[in-house]
Amino acid sequence: MNQTIKQLEYGESFIDRHIGPSIEERQKMLEVVGAKSLDELTRLIVPADIQLPHPPATGDAQTEHQALAELKAIAGQNQRYKSYIGMGYSAVLMPPVIQRNLLENPGWYTAYTPYQPEVSQGRLEALLNFQQMTQDLTGLDLASASLLDEATAAAEAMAMAKRASKLKQANSFFVADDVHPQTIDVVKTRAETFGFNVIIGRTDQAANHADLFGILVQLTGTTGQLHDHSQLLNQLKQRGVITCMAADIMSLVLLESPASMGADVVFGSSQRFGVPMGYGGPHAAFFACKDEFKRSMPGRIIGVSKDAAGNTALRMAMQTREQHIRREKANSNICTSQVLLANIAGFYAVYHGPVGLKRIAQRIHRLTDILAVGLQKAGLKLRHDSWFDTLCIEVADKALVLTRALSFGVNLRSDLEGAVGISLDETTTVEDIQTLFDILIGDSKAIDIDKLDSQCIAHSNSIPPSLLRKTPILTHPVFNRYHSETEMMRYMHRLERKDLALNQAMIPLGSCTMKLNAAAEMIPITWPEFAELHPFCPPEQAAGYQILIAQLSQWLAQITGYDAVCMQPNSGAQGEYAGLLTIRRYHESRGQGSRHICLIPSSAHGTNPASAQMAGMTVVVVACDKQGNIDLSDLRTKAEQHSDELSCIMVTYPSTHGVYEETIREVCKIVHQFGGQVYLDGANMNAQVGITTPGYIGADVSHLNLHKTFSIPHGGGGPGMGPIGVKKHLAPFVPGHSVVHLEGVTTSLGAVSAAPFGSASILPISWMYIHMMGAEGLKMASQVAILNANYIARRLKDAYPILYSGQDGLVAHECILDIRPLKEECGITEMDIAKRLIDYGFHAPTMSFPVAGTLMVEPTESESKAELDRFIEAMLAIRHEIRRVQAGEWPLDDNPLVNAPHIQGELVHQWEHPYSRDLAVFPSQAVFQNKYWPTVKRLDDVYGDRNLFCSCVPMAEYE
């Protein structure tokens, strides 16, 4: 690498830190693959007509310290005002023990979604805690393990209400007019494509509407009023209307559970349980419902089951509910959600416990009481006579009050007619209350806060007695044991040790791109300049974010060959939904609103058809040929057959089969010819960056998974970011936002996320990645990702057939190992191999996607040759073990494969297997040096689904 003298001063090139194999190793691997150089390998694999003449202009590579210094200066342009804006976002005190040991700990943030439960028991337990906390606070029987944000949870609740309601003719959903505005916005967007009628009005009018299948109310209104909705909800329930309630999580500590008021579905944001606002996200939404709705619930549920030895073990329940299996019949398109953030919120509850949480909530409420009484004494009028933490204060001269607030470094809620809003939080101090008096009254000298306080204690009825919580919360031992930092640190570490994350071994998951999440990329996300901003703060206070978002958008536009980028979607699947909505609106703008057919190849990821269905489209499947490529003649036939109604095609490139289809330009041409748009699923961008672009290929819109290609960690199943890139003609139609004006967007068009820029606070990760790699490094990353995949394919192909490949048997950045012939011959399955890999210290590759009975391996560019070799040797050793089964040396039902994984207990228990303990747990020298111990044996899926149990396990079960 040629470095300028300046770079040498600062330190080493980051490119060499990100890319696993050294130059010498790459040369050796190229020899195995049969190419002289990375460029030659690229030429052999990537169709000539899509190779870019020049790599995208994303600038020169920066060292870690250079990029950090530059980003720090950008962050410094954000202004840290104290925000009392509320609207579902609160300032927090993240417990440092959680920040250091979880948020900043790769053992937690680099883990993958817990599809392989045997290597995920730690985060499954943490998620079960989150579910238990949700159940306790909402009073409902069943909770999921997080959704993307409060507003999308509301849209999911509406869709679920429609599925669950027995009023099949009813088509209207009533939304109370004091639900948060961004929630209403997202609900309206979703309702439009489903063809639901949304009625927004006062709750006392709700029962007058005859056509309702569901209703949404908010427990504490957006301007702070507390509602006892019992009467209304029970009245509507008798009619069969499904009742949904949004609730503030902190208020639930003091308020009676929504279930006791008659809510069937309860959801909200868990942000204020320890997760910084981060200019809008990421935060986990909680979601709970009655047990009878369990089959129609969106998102993932963690359940308790048993392992092969009959011991208690956790897993994702009802995995077949997942969109990748149910496709357009899925309950929701949600895939990546917010696991890391749900875990933070769950641990916040564990750390504080019921007593600590009550103290926090009561303190917030007491300060609100003091503020309310003081303001009333000074002659100001409050709009409501009940509140938890939010006041709506009528002011004669709003502009004056807001200006005075700014002069004190304070943001108040400003979008209310003739009033300002103030929401307090756990960071609010007595001095802050004094400042608020100064702002609202003009002078606080006459106010004696202690006196106000004693008056409030004596007779506060700002929470009506009927609403006060009487039922206990968080009685499970887990919420009552770990309140000292030592205990808490050890509890989190104990869970972390049960799991396998990137800090232990490579995670070769096809389609998931588990690459390095570098420390320098992660450091900025906890800088207060990024973490503390409220998403609806005045835009001039977020100048740093604007620079960050503009630069990142520009780079991503270059990298994708598109003209504009929309940062709102907060997962890949949300990006698909946003992109399809954009296409829909584009057609409508041209008077072609009847175009509703979405062509999807049979090999597509399940989110594609699930999103198409959500966007109100009809899925028509296009066949693939024997090589796994799109069948062009079938495509042409279907595009022509539906030409008047053709909306778009959704294709993944390189295909989900791990091949650069030669005909991709032709695919785009055919669809365009019949008036359709091309949606290119960008999950596989790690095989395109710097080499080609979706725009260059001829697509119109794509989402990017920043949590795959652009180094945001998976967090054990989220967060993610799924921005969409679009060509110029689509740019005016991307999602807008009802609270924050977005430049260049037709604002009447609805939002897809609660926050205007989705999960803005993790964008620094991708900014750092792109900036440190530079144009040259990004291209090399793609090339080495391809080299690594081909190296593995070459070395494994005699042991396991490679299912699809292009010319010369070469693959793209991932390869599919076909296990079906082995299964046919001796009964060993892809599952057995996946579980046996755990004994060898590896996370399994992607199982049975996109083809049942296969394993899809994606090593990424970050894995060194040594690690690839360790994986290859494990796979070859396993193949040798299979041979011994084939030879009859071990019975089919008692061999190291079907019994895998093996746990520590087996070292001391009776041993009655025809193979040795040694082979079971230390199958290779590498394992001997760095053993990963799973804590449970193989999960019993059938038992778990038959006996669905999704709450914390009674402690007796552990002991």
Q: Please give the residue ranges that form the binding site for ligand PLP (CB under 6 A).
A: 335-336, 511, 571-573, 605, 607, 652, 656, 681, 683, 705, 720, 722
Q: How far, in Å, are 238, 572, 858 from residue 275 at the CA level?
A: 38, 22, 32
Which residue lies nearer to ligand PLP by CB, 299 or 750? 299
- Give the nearest distance from C-beta 666 to ligand PLP in angstroms: 21
Task: Tell me which residue has its CB nearest to ligand PLP.
Answer: 572
Query: Which residues make beta-bridge pairs with 896?
Result: none
Cα first-last separation, the chain:
57
Helix (H) or strand (E) holding 99: none
Largest Cα–Cα distance in the chain? 92
Q: Which is closer to ligand PLP, CB of 570 or CB of 647?
A: 570
- The answer to whether 708 and 862 are in contact (CB under 8 A) is no
Nearer to ligand PLP, 164 or 509 (CB): 509
Output 246 or 856, the one with its CB closest to ligand PLP: 856
Nearer to ligand PLP, 55 or 722 (CB): 722
| Closest separation in Å from C-beta 19 to ligand PLP | 22
Nearest approach, Cβ of 925 to ligand PLP (angstroms)? Answer: 34
**CA distance linking residue 373 with residue 453, whole number of Å:** 9
Q: How far is the CB of 606 from ligand PLP (least distance, A)?
A: 8
Coil, strand or helix at 534: coil
Q: Kindly write down the DSSP assignment for every residue of 107-134, as one continuous string.
A: HHHTPPPTTSGGG-HHHHHHHHHHHHHH
In whole angstroms, the minimum distance from the beta carbon of 12 to ligand PLP comes to: 32
Q: Is 243:236 a contact under the CB 8 Å cutoff?
A: yes
Please return the burial class of 909, using the count of CB atoms within 10 Å of its CB with bins 0-12, 13-18 and 19+: exposed
Respond yes or no on whether the N-terminal peptide bond of residue 53 is cis (omega within 30° of 0): no
CB of residue 811 to ligand PLP, shortest distance in Å: 16
Q: What is the dihedral of CA 717, 279, 59, 707, to 10 degrees?
A: 10
| Shortest distance, position 572 Cβ to ligand PLP, whole Å | 2
Residue number with CB closer to ligand PLP (411 or 611): 611
Closest-CA residue to 681 (of 697, 670, 662, 669): 697
Q: How far is the CB of 709 from ligand PLP (least distance, A)?
A: 10
Q: Which amino acid does the sequence have at 316? A: M
Find the shortest distance in angstroms from Cβ 639 to ligand PLP.
22
Q: Which is nearer to ligand PLP, 161 or 704 (CB)?
A: 704
Q: How is the chain split among helix, strand and coil, in percent rounded to 5? A: 45, 10, 45
Contact status, residue 172 vs residue 213, Cβ threshold 8 Å: yes
Question: CB of 538 within 8 A of CB of 411?
Answer: yes
Closest approach of ligand PLP to the CB of residue 155, in Å = 15
Cβ 625 to ligand PLP, closest distance in Å? 19
DSSP code at position 294: G
> Between 658 and 676, whose beta carbon lies closer to ligand PLP?
658
CB nearer to ligand PLP: give 858 or 940: 858
Q: Are 113 and 714 in contact (CB under 8 A)?
A: yes
**Are 806 and 659 in contact, with CB atoms under 8 Å apart?**
yes
Question: Nearest approach, Cβ of 287 to ligand PLP (angstroms)?
Answer: 17
Phi-psi region of 312 (alpha: psi -120 to 50; beta: other; left: phi over 0): beta
We find the least distance from the C-beta atom of residue 257 to ligand PLP, in angstroms, to be: 31
What span, in angstroms and rounded, lies between the C-alpha atoms of 638 and 722? 29
Closer CB to ligand PLP, 423 or 571, in the complex = 571
Q: How far is CA 158 from CA 101, 234, 609, in A?
A: 37, 18, 20
> Which among 548, 580, 538 has a CA at the least distance from the CA of 414?
538
Burial class (CB in 10 A: 0-12, 13-18, 19+), 628: buried
CB 137 within 8 A of CB 473: yes
Core vs surface per residue 258-272: b (16+ CB within 10 A) or e: bbebbbbbbbbbbbb
- Shortest distance (Å) from residue 720 CB to ligand PLP: 4
Q: Would you put residue 209 in left (φ > 0), alpha (ψ -120 to 50) or beta?
A: beta
**How far apart (Å, rounded) are the C-alpha atoms in residues 445 and 456?**
19
> Looking at beta carbons only, is 220 or 571 nearer to ligand PLP?
571
* Residue that the structure tokens 């594609």 belong to: 608
CA angle 128, 130, 133 (to 5 degrees): 110
Rounded Cα distance, 286 and 535, in Å: 20
**Nearest CB to ligand PLP, comparing residues 7 and 338:** 338
Q: Which amino acid is at 785?
A: A
**817 phi, psi to nearest 5 deg:** -95, 125
Q: How far is the C-alpha of 337 from the C-alpha of 716, rounded, in Å?
A: 9
- Cβ(97)–Cβ(105) under 8 Å? no
Question: What is the nearest approach in angstroms of ligand PLP to the Cβ of residue 206?
Answer: 34
Q: How far is the CB of 416 from ligand PLP (least distance, A)?
A: 35
Which CB sits closer to ligand PLP, 146 or 652? 652
Of 67 and 683, which has the nearer Cβ to ligand PLP?
683
Q: C-alpha 193: how far from its chain's center? A: 23
d(CA 324, CA 336): 12
Q: How far is the CB of 662 from ligand PLP (least distance, A)?
A: 20
Q: Which is nearer to ligand PLP, 658 or 777 (CB)?
A: 658
Nearer to ligand PLP, 382 or 687 (CB): 687
- Please state the closest distance from residue 556 (CB atom) to ligand PLP, in A: 16
Q: Which is nearer to ligand PLP, 139 or 579 (CB)?
A: 579
Q: Which is nearer to ligand PLP, 95 or 720 (CB)?
A: 720
The radius of gyration computed from the CA coordinates of the chain, to the nearest angstrom, equals 28
